Amino acid sequence: MSLKQIPKQVIILGLVSLFTDVASEMLYPVTPIFLTAVLGASMATVGIIEGIAEFTAGLLKGYFGKISDKLGKRSIFVTIGYSLSALVKPLPGFFPFIPAVIFSRIADRIGKGIRTAPRDALLASYANENTGAIFGFHRGMDTLGAAIGPVCALILLHFYPNNFALIFFVAFIPSIIAIGFTLTVKDKSAPVKQKEPRYYSTLWKNSSTQFKYIIVLITIFSLVNSSDVFLILKSKSISHSSTLAISGYIFYNLIYAFTSYPLGKLSDRFGKKSVFIMGLVIFSIVYFGFAIAPDLYLIWGLFLLYGIFAASTEGVAKAWVADLIPDTNRGTAIGLLTMLSSFATMLGSFITGLLWDKFGSLLPFLLSSVISLATAFAFLFLKTDKK
């Protein structure tokens, strides 16, 4: 599938995600600084806010995936979810107090929880034996926004030092543009309400061994796929420069954005399993590289590989699940995948932080490298009947 053949609705969803991520990633590196340097919050407070926010998003991804299946509607959840996230973004600028930041951050993640699984199920409904290309295109647009956002924040801080309120206000602009696009999102066909399964246990019982294998292994891998914050912190400790560390993160997002669609197409041609395993092996190499304390120049190569890893796995995993589950149950299935992986990543990030504090960065990075390689090896034994 060429880019010209991407369905219009998929392009619209890609633009929604692009503008939303421009806004979100403008605030992602700024909010912790705003909390600690301006509002005087402790690091523990920052950690608690992020933990609650991500837990809420993870839980709701599963719930609203099921609800969208039950109602046979997807687009309404896309509009509500993105709109909620957009409307709360500027609140800390208007009300520069810790409770306002907490409310804004958690409400933003609630919006993400509402929209994620229904949106992914909607994307899959527009696929025709090319789920990898569809999800790859969407992830590419989403991640391009994630690269643009931090650049915008750095530019604003350069010209308006320490004016964090301005960034919260400016981030509202791409958010409103995203809301406008959501109003044109449509379900592919007349709604088909779900009869079965209504519960995860029923879905699990009625699903193939391949689906169960994928869910279990991805959840295990997510335990060692901790927050990207740790890669940024490791880069900073090596380069002794916050700017270089953030620049490496932006570079990773750019690589991710521009390789996501081509690798999605490859997964349609050669199989999701093959591309996903390649991604896990690359992840293992990246974390081993960071573990042995690379020099400054090697960091850029590792971030390049990390971008290829993300493009080989995140969209491909959802496309893989979408191939195995009928449209009426895709919201539930993708919601289950994203919910479990979110919880596992949150727990894994907590464990990584504990291990880093007690033993240094070497142990958690090596552990991630070894377990991800073992997971890739386990996937080799999975028998697939579909690409």
What structural domains and CATH numbers belong to the chain? 3-189+198-379 (1.20.1250.20)
Identity (one letter) of the amino acid at 28? Y
Burial class (CB in 10 A: 0-12, 13-18, 19+), 258: middle
* pLDDT confidence of residue 46: 66
pLDDT of 235 strictly over 80: yes
How confident is the model over 149-195, as pLDDT tens digits?
A: 989 988 988 898 888 889 999 999 999 999 999 999 998 865 455 55
Identity (one letter) of the amino acid at 145? G
pTM of the shown model: 0.87
Using DSSP, state whether 293 is helix, strand or coil.
coil
Cα 273 to Cα 132, 267, 325: the distances in Å are 11, 8, 16
**Phi, psi values for residue 70, rounded to 5°:** -60, -40
What count of Cα atoms within 13 Å lies in the side-chain half-sphere of residue 35?
A: 24
- Residue that wins the pLDDT comparison between 379 and 37: 379
pLDDT of 8 strictly over 90: yes
pLDDT of 134 strictly over 90: yes
- Rounded to an integer, what distance in angstroms lies between the CA atom of residue 344 and that of residue 337? 11
2-16, 21-35, 74-88, 166-180, range with the lowest pLDDT: 21-35
Using DSSP, state whether 72 is helix, strand or coil.
coil
* pLDDT confidence of residue 387: 47
Cα 375 to Cα 99, 169, 225: the distances in Å are 41, 43, 12
Dig out the tokens for 321 from the structure: 């699940």
Kindly state the average pLDDT of the residues 365-371.
95
Dig out the tokens for 150 from the structure: 């931090």
- Rounded to an integer, what distance in angstroms lies between the CA atom of residue 214 and that of residue 368? 19
Kindly state the average pLDDT of the residues 361-385.
91
